[in-house]
Amino acid sequence: MKSYFGSLPNGNEVYKYKLTNGYMSVEIISYGGIITNINAPNSKGKDTDVVLGFNTLDQYIGEHPYFGAIIGRYGNRIANGKFSLNGIDYQLAINNGKNSLHGGLIGFDKVSWSVKELNNNGDPGIKLTYFSKDMEEGYPGNLQIDVTYILTKENELKFFYEAITDTLTIINLTNHSYFNLGGESSGDILDHFVSINANSYLPVDENLIPTGEIRNVKNTPFDFIEMKKIGLEIEIQNNQLIYGKGYDHCWVLNDYGEGIRKIAEVNNLATGINMEVYSDQPGVQFYTGNFLEGSLKSKELKKYEKRSGFCLETQHFPDSPNQPSFPNVILDPDKKYETQTWYKFSTKKY
Ligand code: GLA
């Protein structure tokens, strides 16, 4: 279902698309490919909106930390916005301290996507397309990107990312939804239970750039192998948690290279809403909304205070173009970039 959502200052119209499957619904706008709402029933059958977002286009155009958006060309940080490819040095826009974050000043979260509605064997979906020109935001290569969202009968919201380029470039696409399985206006996410299928994570320096070390999570606050409350160890005085102001790190997922596998699960005891995450990616940035500070208004007009949402951004490792030991993020003109991530919703009591 398609409806008019508003117009951008340049006159471009923005539409909202609603995918429903009888159990839950997902709403997406053509600006930034932003997921504005995910409504899923709680254990009592009451519809609960589990993603942070806004009611109006103006708020999405304004300042906000990437709520619900498609992130690219390079999700996460590139140190000093510099990298080199084929002997050529590139300089990206610096928009996060000394670094380039999430694609630069006008990343894929701030552009209009063309949208085609789909029916995938009875499952509703949309395909979003964007053409990013050679040297846009400093990245080489004309890049054609397709992102497909499908809502299945099994209550999975599936994301399929595809891209092709005409020149060697780098790419790392993800989605930046902030979840709160207690409801988007229900306060902080500290009592959610989370598990992440990762035996190690990437420690960072004070600028949140990975040091290159791959550190075992054992006996650290980063151990989420078993379901653990987000809030249990988040305030421990540990350099890593101080740098991130909480969790804002990339976990090194187990079984990379073996296709799509379950990488994380989250549960909210109050609503019983459960979310499983599946992906073929090597990493996930688990970010606990540490930089939210009450200036943004929720859909129910409450304040989004610190840690009122969490993100599980499936991706390649931050700063990979400058870290030869990390899996490679180079896209060759002869190859196609393809990756997928699924979020599966249910209710479950732990
Ligand atoms: C990412 C980063 C965080 C923060 C948010 C947006 O998840 O890792 O540090 O910048 O985006 O606020």
pLDDT at 314: 98
Here the CATH number for the domain that contains residue 204 is 2.70.98.10
Cα of 103 vs centre of ligand 1, distance in Å, is 12
Cα radius of gyration rounded to whole Å, the chain = 19
Active-site entry in 27, 64, 136, 176: 176
Phi, psi of 209 (to 5 degrees): -95, 130
Which atom of ligand 1 is nearest to 287's Cα?
Answer: 7
pLDDT at 349: 82
| Ligand 1 site, residue 248, Cβ cutoff 6 A | yes
CA dist 58 and 142 (Å) reads 30
Whether 213 is a known active-site residue: answer no
The sign of the torsion formed by the CA atoms of 25, 309, 128, 315 equals negative
Q: With a threshold of 0.85, does the pTM exceed it?
A: yes
Cα of 214 vs centre of ligand 1, distance in Å, is 20
Q: Are the CB atoms for 192 and 266 separated by under 8 Å?
A: yes
Cα of 157 vs centre of ligand 1, distance in Å, is 22
**Is beta strand 82-85 parallel, antiparallel or unpaired with respect to 88-91?**
antiparallel
DSSP 326: S
Q: Which domain holds residue 38?
A: 2-347
Residue 334 token pair: 């002869």
| Ligand 1 site, residue 204, Cβ cutoff 6 A | no
**Is beta strand 35-41 parallel, antiparallel or unpaired with respect to 13-20?**
unpaired
* Closest C-alpha residue for ligand 1 atom 9: 248
* Closest C-alpha residue for ligand 1 atom 3: 248
The sign of the torsion formed by the CA atoms of 340, 177, 31, 104 equals negative
Number of domains in the chain: 1
| Ligand 1 site, residue 285, Cβ cutoff 6 A | yes
Cα of 121 vs centre of ligand 1, distance in Å, is 36
CA dist 278 and 266 (Å) reads 12
Residue 188 token pair: 């902080």
Q: Given the structure tokens 């839950």, which residue do they identify?
A: 24
pLDDT at 33: 98
Which atom of ligand 1 is nearest to 208's Cα?
Answer: 9
* Closest C-alpha residue for ligand 1 atom 8: 248
| Ligand 1 site, residue 65, Cβ cutoff 6 A | yes
* Closest C-alpha residue for ligand 1 atom 12: 65
Which atom of ligand 1 is nearest to 292's Cα?
Answer: 12
Longest dimension (CA), the chain: 59
Cα of 287 vs centre of ligand 1, distance in Å, is 7
Whether 305 is a known active-site residue: answer no
**Is beta strand 228-229 parallel, antiparallel or unpaired with respect to 311-315?**
unpaired
What pLDDT tens digit does each residue of the chain (350 aa) get?
999 999 999 999 999 999 999 999 999 999 999 999 999 999 999 999 999 999 999 999 999 999 999 999 999 999 999 999 999 999 999 999 999 999 999 999 999 999 999 999 999 999 999 999 999 999 999 999 999 999 999 999 999 999 999 999 999 999 999 999 999 999 999 999 999 999 999 999 999 999 999 999 999 999 999 999 999 999 998 999 999 999 999 999 999 999 999 999 999 999 999 999 999 999 999 999 999 999 999 999 999 999 999 999 999 999 999 999 999 999 999 999 999 999 999 999 87
* Closest C-alpha residue for ligand 1 atom 6: 65
| Ligand 1 site, residue 350, Cβ cutoff 6 A | no
DSSP string, 69-99: -EE-SB-SEEGGGEEEETTEEEEPPP-BTTB
Mutate to test the pocket of ligand 1, among 52, 102, 314 (most ligand atoms within 8 A of CB): 102
